[in-house]
Homo-oligomer: A and B are copies of this chain.
């Protein structure tokens, strides 16, 4: 039997206090990343801020990066739900509009955290779930575009990449500037997305 994946959680908490420990670690990691930045993001600090010993941290995470990956997964799960809900809509414009809304709300919830995690995710060795998740969002966009007769024949794969990229660009910058008006930001992203497609936006 080979060694366990060195970036997967070491063990699953079986008792509720253990679950609390893990949750405290992840939340402490999030707070340090978003408030102090990657330079002060150390395992000793995480444990201290979580009110937990360093030994406990390494009971559940085999390495520092494993904490980061778990945190990425925690945040991504929040977004995934909304994305999947949007996917159920019938009108392709509505699908896109809802996905934009989900992305904007996700980014404005904890802007600094979202930005740092985006960067960390790019830096980390490709994790299988991460790839899945990316292609899931990407796939949802491609699927929505595929339902549009107006866009028949277009390179939907690349369109989807660009739409995702420009959305991320605008929301990242808005978060960095301290914007908090989700509705306004959503309207601007929609304007960008549908403007790029040369299509009228969804009418919600």
Report whether B161 and A165 are in contact in the complex, using a CB–CB cutoff of 8 Å.
no
A178 at the interface (CB under 8 A from B): no
How many residues in A have their beta carbons less than 8 Å from beta carbons of B?
30
Within the complex, which residue of B158, B164, B198 is in contact with A195, where a contact is CB–CB below 8 Å? B198
A24 at the interface (CB under 8 A from B): no
Report A163-204 CB contacts with B as 1/0, cut-off 8 Å. Answer: 011111110111011000000000010011011111000000
Hey, which chain B residues are within 8 Å of A119, CB to CB? 119
Bound complex: CA A122 to CA B111 (Å): 13
Bound complex: CA A170 to CA B196 (Å): 12
A38 at the interface (CB under 8 A from B): yes
Hey, which chain B residues are within 8 Å of A188, CB to CB? 158, 162
Bound complex: CA A198 to CA B170 (Å): 17
24 residue pairs A–B, Cβ–Cβ below 8 Å: A37-B123, A38-B38, A38-B123, A39-B123, A119-B119, A122-B176, A161-B173, A161-B177, A162-B170, A162-B188, A162-B192, A165-B169, A165-B170, A165-B172, A166-B192, A168-B169, A168-B173, A169-B169, A192-B195, A194-B195, A195-B196, A195-B197, A195-B198, A196-B196
